[in-house]
Chains A and B, each alone.
Chain A
């Protein structure tokens, strides 16, 4: 009788002790989890810091060997013979980007207007997923298509066109960013309240007039931001230009010539027999830094436009 009471007592004590341990454990977990999550969140910040650090450190080494003025002011890029005039790579990048925007701006905006203002819900349900598929096609596939289809077609239209040219690459880069411009612009237009449209329509405006005089002005900040993001994507696009635009640094605005962009030089420099620590190795980072500054400025500009010029209803 007595021993059984003691036993019960000890087992109760054990349970209490175990509960306490459990509670302590839970309390520790409660405290540790946010710390763990914070560390994970910090990794994304570290990635940015890492990108800045990498590009800066290696670029500084590069600029110890090649002067700032030579890099940014001369126009001949031929690293294997010691010429580092990045302007010809920048010219190539801007040329491709310009062609791409000439293709993507009208197509993207027209698609956005059609989807947001004209298309019925059922048509939209078909077209939007197809645009998403277009956005999901890997860029190496676009590059393959540019080289093996678009270039031959262009060659039959423009006699004497070289196999590698800025035009073919630019057109395909443009098609690649159409889905992005279309879907972001459509979001902006869809966000315009219907009361504005109804007001214009009730005043006797046609749908087209309503769209261009009411909806587009109201959604302008979102539309411009989407185009700026598109420019940023075109500048950073690598595989299409590496495959279809050639590898000839060329300070030109002639879209029929073979060129080299910032990105495709990085590919060339990384795949060639570039040894670690050579000037060419560091030049990859200086070019990467230039590229990063361009795209970063574009992204900030796009965010600034959205924040500054957003219409409130």
Chain B
């Protein structure tokens, strides 16, 4: 009887241990699915796009034939968009973060702004497109122009920059502020000469990641009327424009298979730019981490 008990107990324990091992393997497998998917995606894009990726592709405008089509208008459009979005969104975002962290009184309105920023981050990007369409395109009568697209994009990534900047500013230890105030500096002098410089790495990392999101964003730009086919580089704030993801989208949805290769080539360019931006962000983060 006792021997029987021991045997069955051993069996039970063995079963539990085996189950544990089995599930560990399953969890690993599930984690791998995401990675495999990423590898497949990159392989697929390279496989389809590399053949069409050459200097010509980078320096020519859209064309009716796949072999002649190029991404130049998209690349320049995206660069100009980012040159506008970066200062607008960063200045607004960092200012908002400074207000919330350094100046705002602890009252209901401050809490409201805070909750509001969090909720904005969860609004689908295409809804920002509708906001831009009503306000920037029609109400301010900017039309389907570069500046309307840039303003829409700025509002879209604003919450991301605010949250990242808040975290960076919050991580500055209070004794730095107290030392500065103790030396006779005013509040703004303390912020400008002590807090901001110390928080810059975190702010930069967050901003670059936010911009890299903006550069890949398609839906809101479609709604505020980025052109799909355009034969010029924007030369003023009120120019028509296109962007890399818009061109990739318009090539992807064409029924002929050759256009998918062109889209693949466009995606390679977009991903390389994104990867470069992310690498810079990670580099900044690692270089300036743990200074306090």
Q: Which residues of A contact B (CB under 8 A)?
A: 26, 29-30, 33-34, 36-38, 40-45, 47-48, 50-51, 54-55, 57-58, 106-107, 110-111, 113-115, 118-119, 127, 129-131, 133-134, 136-145, 147-149, 175, 178-179, 182, 206-209, 229, 232, 235-239, 242-243, 263, 266-267, 270-271, 276, 284-285, 288, 291-292, 295-296, 298-300, 303
Bound-complex Cα distance A118 to B113 (A) = 39
Instruction: Tell me the nearest residue of chain A to B130, going by C-beta.
Output: A288
A54-B131, A291-B127 known; A115-B31 Cβ under 8 A: yes
Instruction: Tell me the nearest residue of chain B to A139, going by C-beta.
Output: B218
Min C-beta distance of B27 to chain A, whole Å: 4
Min C-beta distance of A149 to chain B, whole Å: 5
Q: Mind listing 22 A-B residue pairs with CB under 8 Å?
A: A29-B188, A40-B91, A43-B96, A44-B159, A54-B130, A107-B30, A110-B29, A111-B27, A118-B27, A133-B38, A134-B35, A141-B216, A143-B249, A144-B264, A149-B41, A208-B20, A242-B249, A267-B223, A270-B225, A285-B134, A295-B122, A296-B123
Within 8 A of A (CB), among B54-112: 91-92, 95-96, 98-100, 103-104, 112
A208 and B19 form a contact (CB under 8 A) = yes
B222 and A271 form a contact (CB under 8 A) = yes
B162 and A110 form a contact (CB under 8 A) = no
B95 and A138 form a contact (CB under 8 A) = no
B116 and A48 form a contact (CB under 8 A) = yes
| Total B residues in contact with A, Cβ cutoff 8 Å | 86
Q: Which of B193-201, B230-238, B266-274 contacts A (4 or more CB under 8 A)?
A: B266-274
Q: Which residues of B contact A (CB under 8 A)?
A: 16-17, 19-20, 23-24, 26-31, 33-35, 37-38, 40-41, 44-45, 48, 91-92, 95-96, 98-100, 103-104, 112-113, 115-120, 122-131, 133-135, 138, 155, 158-159, 162, 186-188, 209, 212-213, 215-219, 222-223, 225, 228, 245, 248-249, 252-253, 260, 263-264, 267, 270-271, 274, 278, 282
Bound-complex Cα distance A44 to B118 (A) = 10
B267 and A144 form a contact (CB under 8 A) = yes
B278 and A133 form a contact (CB under 8 A) = yes
B222 and A267 form a contact (CB under 8 A) = yes
A44 and B28 form a contact (CB under 8 A) = no
A115-B31, A141-B45 known; A239-B264 Cβ under 8 A: no
A33 and B252 form a contact (CB under 8 A) = no
Please report whether the interface of chain A is mostly helix, strand, loop or mixed according to DSSP: helix
B270 and A138 form a contact (CB under 8 A) = yes
A34-B99, A110-B26, A209-B16 known; A175-B34 Cβ under 8 A: yes
B99 and A38 form a contact (CB under 8 A) = yes
Can you list the 7 inter-chain pairs with the closest CB atoms, starting with the nearest?
A236-B124, A138-B216, A110-B30, A40-B95, A37-B99, A114-B27, A238-B219
Instruction: Tell me the nearest residue of chain A to B94, going by C-beta.
Output: A40
Bound-complex Cα distance A32 to B131 (A) = 30
B253 and A236 form a contact (CB under 8 A) = no
A143 and B135 form a contact (CB under 8 A) = no
Min C-beta distance of A303 to chain B, whole Å: 7
A43-B92, A239-B249, A295-B122 known; A107-B17 Cβ under 8 A: no
Min C-beta distance of A203 to chain B, whole Å: 13
